[in-house]
Amino acid sequence: MATTARGRPALPQGIGRVTPGWWAFFAATLIVLAFGIVAIIRELTAGMVATGMRDVGTAGGATWGLYISMVVYFIGVSFAGITVAALIRIFDIERLRPIARMAELLTIVSLILGAFAILVDLGQPLRGITNLFGFARPQSPFFGTFSLVIAGYLFASIVYLYLGGRRDAALMAKHPGRLQRFHRWWAAGYKDTEAERRRHYQTSFWLALGIIPLLIVAHSTLGFVFGLQVGRPGWYGTLQAPAFVALAGVSGVGHIIVLAAIIRRLLGAQRRITMEAFSWLGRFLMVLLAVYLYFMVVELLTLLYATPEVEKRLSDALLTGTYAPIYWGSVAALVLPMIALMWQALARRWNVGILVASGVLVNLAAIGKRYLVVVPSQTHGTLLPYEVGSYSPSWVEYGVVLGLFALGALLVGLFIKSFPVLPLEAEEEVSVDA
């Protein structure tokens, strides 16, 4: 049995053991995060003038830009994690059980990033927190984003992760070490008795049933932020909310595939995360992608067939104008994975490399599509004949977004190094007991 330098038996899954590679990873994320913090400080001291955002209309800009695109993207990613975790629970999908915890982790981390992205987008971030508690108005479409998504959904996900992890925490807490206190705190007196197991199972099951409608509503409210605005061409539409949910699923499942492949490689867990799990995820991604592509085609057809004058300016900018490279790039990054997934499904042979490439591509497409929902309707979507505007993010915005990604990677890395990201197996339990 592997032991640490001090002669203690090593914890399973490399927990608590920070190898030089991991040090390099943490250092890299911290450096990028520090750059992001510098950018935030610049934005706080100078004001939003440090960003590329400007007023819509006479100033010819976009007053929502990369930040809001990333809010929508991050919250979208969070969708799939908890969906997959809940589906595993409800339908008892045994082969997916090893990825349940990393899926929950992905949801929590991306929701935290989404919340931060909202805060950096506010002109008065501190007031954003205090005034929302004091004066929040349910009539604002933003209310759903703050209450259902950030509060309700994040809280539910944390409870979910907590309950699902208590048994492993109790096992880990038997092991002396620096992390013992943390594991003991998580276990909180859990003894793994029959009654406790049943109670946990029941709680998780009902939570899973409750969380799915909650998250459909929550993601729809994010779509309503745009879909209810009649004064902005390209935003107003009934398809906005369902398309948001569909693209959220696409980007989230794509993300889980990438994360699962990385953890599988890292922990040598080829036996735990089986090809059946990947084929299930690949099929799930394919279905969601098909739904989203359907929405996209319907939207495009409506836009091209019956284009009112104000929408025409916008569709021209999207299809052939300023935004055409992002638009067609995103379409390609959705269609290519769709073809690859269909081909693999028909051949019944799944390849992790192709799946990971598909996951990365659909996420790039998701960022592109979110950006195209947010920005063009401002620069090319004024109803009064203002001149056409332009927007390009400044280094501050890029820095903050990179910093957010680094923060996410850091949080995931810290979790992997301090808690079993795969549920403990029988032999691992023995090694802890020893």
* H-state helical runs in 136-153: 142-144
**Whole-number minimum distance, CB 402 to another protein, in Å?**
22
Q: How many residues bind another protein (CB under 8 A)?
A: 48
Query: Out of 4, 17, 23, 47, which residue is the one contacting another protein (CB under 8 A)?
Result: 47
- How many other CB atoms sit within 10 Å of the CB of residue 404? 24
Question: CA-to-CA distance for 239 and 327, rounded, in angstroms?
Answer: 18
- Cβ density class 123-144: b for 16+ within 10 Å, e for less: eeeeeeeeebeeeeeeeebbbb
Q: Does 313 bind another protein (CB under 8 A)?
A: yes
Interaction between residue 131 and another protein (CB under 8 A): yes
Distance CA 52, CA 67 (A): 11
In the list 342, 383, 414, 430, the residue contacting another protein (rule: CB under 8 A) is 383
Non-local (6+) Cβ contacts of 378 within 8 A are: 56, 61, 62, 63, 64, 232, 389, 391
Among 69, 83, 382, 394, binds another protein (CB under 8 A): 382
Binding part of the chain for another protein, among 1-9, 43-51, 153-161, 207-215 by CB under 8 A, reads 43-51
Q: Which of 61, 62, 39, 223 is nearest to 120 (CA)?
A: 39
Structure-derived torsion over alpha carbons of residues 244, 248, 249, 255, reported in degrees to the nearest 10: 160
Q: According to the binding rule CB under 8 A, does residue 160 interact with another protein?
A: no
CB of 315 to another protein, least distance (A): 13
The helix (H) or strand (E) run that includes residue 273 is none
Q: Which of residues 48-67 bind another protein (CB under 8 A)?
A: 48-49, 51, 53-60, 63-64
CB of 391 to another protein, least distance (A): 13
Q: Which residue, 219, 189, 220, is CA-closest to 79?
A: 219
Binding mask 212-251 for another protein (x = CB under 8 A): -------------x---xxxx-------------------
14: left (phi over 0), alpha (psi -120 to 50) or beta: left
Q: Does 30 bind another protein (CB under 8 A)?
A: no
CB contact at 8 A, 396 and 66 = no
Using the rule CB under 8 A, is 123 a contact of another protein?
yes
One-letter identity of residue 281: L
Residue with the two structure tokens 């935004």: 323
Cβ closer to another protein: 17 or 127?
Answer: 127
Task: Considering only the stretches 92-100, 385-393, 395-403, 412-420, report the one whose residues sit in contact with another protein under the rule CB under 8 A.
Answer: 385-393
**Does residue 151 bind another protein (CB under 8 A)?**
no
At closest approach, how far in Å is the CB of 120 from another protein?
11
137 binds another protein, rule: CB under 8 A: yes
Binding site for another protein (CB under 8 A): 46-49, 51, 53-60, 63-64, 121-124, 127-128, 131-132, 134-137, 139-143, 146, 225, 229-232, 309-310, 313, 378, 382-387
